[in-house]
């Protein structure tokens, strides 16, 4: 039985048919409206419907919506395999996607229940003929789901089938194969289809020591003093701190600017290591998260928050500038599956131009022998080593989603500009 809200003020739980309808609308907001999963769920559940979701309902909606987006390539291939005469579109396809995702991934729900719930939802919203079509497709998927779960591809498989299996859009798949090769791309795709892990940076007394913790149940709010930060970025901060300790042994406090600081993990990590940091971000709303983390963790004077326009217009110079630049975010598909479908090759060219401008700004604002840290959460060459090509690094730090311990895909160039 589905859990209900507890207490007089708890929101009323929705039926599974109602929840499936919300999932279909959320998917439309992501795929047609370009929203993130979180924003889409907020929109359909609160702003658009006037509802506050019960905890179970929100978890169900997040699971289904993010799951469909993660496996959309495979799911659509399965649907189209059985829809030979007419390919479904619009809400009918999205209803099918929610059900096929459950049939593909869940062993705790009876397939017949998934089929009947979805058929009922389609009948209510789309009518009798579409519900019969959906019923026929889902029964075929349910009968063959074990074979689909064992679906494998090789280098000899047709590229269109590989893209479906990998659940990657064509532009991204082709760029990854060109940059990294087919085998790397297949490993990347499989790793990016896994459920994300929530990593946490636990701070010791005084904040000087840090420990990486995996939160099995996600962030609950009652963790020891620290902050959520992906393990790859935690390892990067540790590498940066080691380099700064070597480069500035006689300078008590090098002047450090974190130009693209939100949500603040890099800034917090440097402050925890004993450095003072000037933090800013072009997105004022996201900068609020840095301020909240600073205050919650009690870093006080160790972190100075400044206005982005003020920083970029001044001629001030710094010993260290960290550019965690806007990018395609292709290294974080596991945590943000919508990125697969709301990015394209043209947008990457725009980001590459922005990245180049930020690098030029940093060159003009670094002190002699200053350190530049250029980082992205991208796995694309055009945003990484091609962006900073021609300069000799102290260190290049790189992680792919398939690398142990299975964190985000990130890239960082750490060095002096000469």
Instruction: Read off the CATH number of the domain in which 118 is found.
Output: 1.10.940.10
Query: Using an 8 Å Cβ cutoff, are 140 and 100 in contact?
Result: no
Is 298 in the same domain as 383?
Answer: yes
Domain boundary among 106, 124, 145: 145
Please report the pLDDT score of residue 206 as a whole number. 58
Dump pLDDT digits (tens) for 135-163.
999 999 999 999 999 999 999 999 999 99
Tokens 């799951």 correspond to 67
Mean pLDDT of 398-415: 96
Over pLDDT 90: what percentage of the chain? Answer: 80
* pLDDT: which is higher, 348 or 321: 321
Residues 128, 203, single domain; the answer is no
Examine residue 126 and state whether it is found in any structural domain, yes or no: yes
Compute the average pLDDT of residues 387-411.
93
SS3 state at 236: helix
Reported as a single tens digit per residue, the pLDDT across 266-318 is 999 999 999 999 999 999 999 999 999 999 999 999 999 999 999 999 899 99
Run of H or E residues at 228: strand 226-228
33 and 115 part of one domain: yes
Look at the chain and report how many structural domains it folds into. Answer: 2
Instruction: Give the pLDDT of residue 218.
Output: 87
128-159: b (≥16 Cβ within 10 Å) or e: eebbebbbebbeebbeebeebeeeebeeeeee
Domain-terminating residue out of 100, 130, 145: 145
CATH of the domain at 391: 3.40.50.150
- CB-CB neighbours of 241 under 10 Å: 17
pLDDT above 80: residue 13: no
Compute the distance between CA of residue 413 and CA of residue 166 in angstroms, rounded to an integer.
29
212 and 350 together in one domain:
yes
Q: What is the mean pLDDT of the chain?
A: 92
Based on the domain organization, do 107 and 229 belong to the same domain?
no
Structure-token pair, residue 174: 């082709």
pLDDT of residue 6: 45
232 and 113 co-located in one domain: no
Residues 246 and 312 grouped into a single domain: yes
Whether 254 is covered by a domain: the verdict is yes
Plot region of 207 (φ>0 → left; ψ -120 to 50 → alpha; else → beta): left
Asked, for residue 312, whether it belongs to a domain, the answer is yes
Is residue 9 pLDDT above 70, yes or no?
Answer: no
Instruction: Based on the fold, state whether residues 273 and 136 are members of the same structural domain.
Output: no
What is the spatial distance between Cα 307 and Cα 295, in angstroms, rounded to a whole number? 17
- pLDDT score of 8: 47
- Phi and psi at residue 319, to the nearest 5°: -75, -35
- For residues 139 and 269, state if they share a domain: no
- Domain encompassing residue 65: 16-145
Percent pLDDT > 70 in the chain is 95
Biggest alpha carbon–alpha carbon distance for the chain = 77
Q: For residue 384, give the 3-state DSSP assignment.
A: coil
Q: Is residue 341 located within the same domain as residue 279?
A: yes
370 and 247 in a single domain? The answer is yes
* Domain stops at, among 103, 124, 145: 145
pTM of this structure: 0.91
On whether residue 162 sits in a domain, the answer given is no
Q: How far apart are the first and last CA of the chain?
A: 66
> Coil, strand or helix: which one is 2?
coil
Does residue 190 lie in a domain region? no
For residue 304, what pLDDT is reported? 97
241 and 302 assigned to the same domain? yes
For residue 189, is it within any domain? no
Nearest to residue 190, comparing CAs of 170, 166, 156?
Answer: 166
Of residues 290 and 218, which shows the higher confidence score?
290
Using one digit for the tens of pLDDT, what is the confidence trace for 349-383? 899 999 999 999 999 999 999 999 999 999 999 99
**Tens-place pLDDT, residues 71-112:** 999 999 999 999 988 899 999 999 999 999 999 999 999 999
In-domain check, residue 184? no
In a domain, 177, yes or no: no
């Amino acid at each position: 039985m589905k859990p209900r809200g507890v207490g007089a003020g708890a929101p009323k739980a929705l039926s599974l048919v109602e929840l499936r309808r919300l999932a279909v609308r959320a998917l439309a907001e992501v795929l047609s409206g370009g929203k993130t999963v979180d924003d889409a769920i907020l929109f359909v559940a609160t702003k658009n419907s006037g509802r506050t979701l019960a905890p179970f309902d929100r978890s169900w909606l997040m699971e289904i919506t993010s799951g469909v987006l993660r496996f959309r390539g495979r799911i659509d291939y399965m649907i189209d395999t059985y829809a030979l005469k007419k390919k479904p579109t619009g809400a009918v396809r999205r209803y099918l996607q929610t059900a096929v995702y459950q049939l593909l991934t869940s062993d705790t729900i009876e397939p017949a229940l998934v089929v009947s719930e979805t058929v009922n939802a389609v009948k209510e919203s789309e009518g009798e003929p579409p519900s019969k079509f959906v019923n026929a497709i889902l029964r075929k998927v349910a009968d063959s789901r074990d074979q689909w779960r064992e679906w494998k591809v090789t280098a000899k498989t047709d590229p269109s089938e590989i893209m479906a299996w990998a659940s990657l859009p064509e532009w991204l798949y082709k760029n990854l194969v060109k940059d990294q090769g087919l085998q790397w791309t297949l490993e990347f795709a499989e790793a990016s289809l896994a459920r994300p892990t929530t990593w946490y940076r636990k701070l010791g007394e005084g904040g000087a020591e840090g420990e990486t913790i995996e939160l099995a149940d996600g962030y609950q709010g009652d963790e020891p003093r620290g902050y959520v930060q992906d393990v790859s970025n935690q390892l990067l901060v540790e590498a940066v701190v080691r380099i700064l300790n070597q480069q500035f042994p006689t300078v008590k406090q090098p002047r450090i600017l974190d130009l693209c600081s939100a949500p603040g993990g890099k800034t917090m990590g440097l402050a925890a290591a004993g450095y003072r940091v000037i933090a800013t971000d072009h997105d004022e709303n996201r900068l609020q998260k840095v301020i909240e983390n600073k205050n919650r963790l009690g870093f006080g004077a160790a972190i100075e928050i400044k206005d982005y326009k003020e920083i970029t217009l001044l001629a001030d110079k710094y010993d260290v500038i960290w550019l965690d630049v806007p990018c395609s975010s292709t290294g974080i598909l596991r945590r943000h599956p919508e990125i697969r479908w709301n990015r394209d090759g043209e947008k990457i060219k725009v980001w590459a131009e922005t990245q180049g401008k930020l690098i030029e700004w940093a060159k003009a604002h670094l002190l002699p022998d200053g350190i530049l840290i250029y980082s992205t959460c991208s796995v694309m060459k055009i945003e990484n080593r091609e962006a900073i090509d021609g300069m000799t690094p102290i260190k290049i730090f790189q992680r792919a989603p398939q690398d142990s311990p299975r964190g985000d895909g990130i890239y960082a160039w750490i060095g002096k500009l000469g």
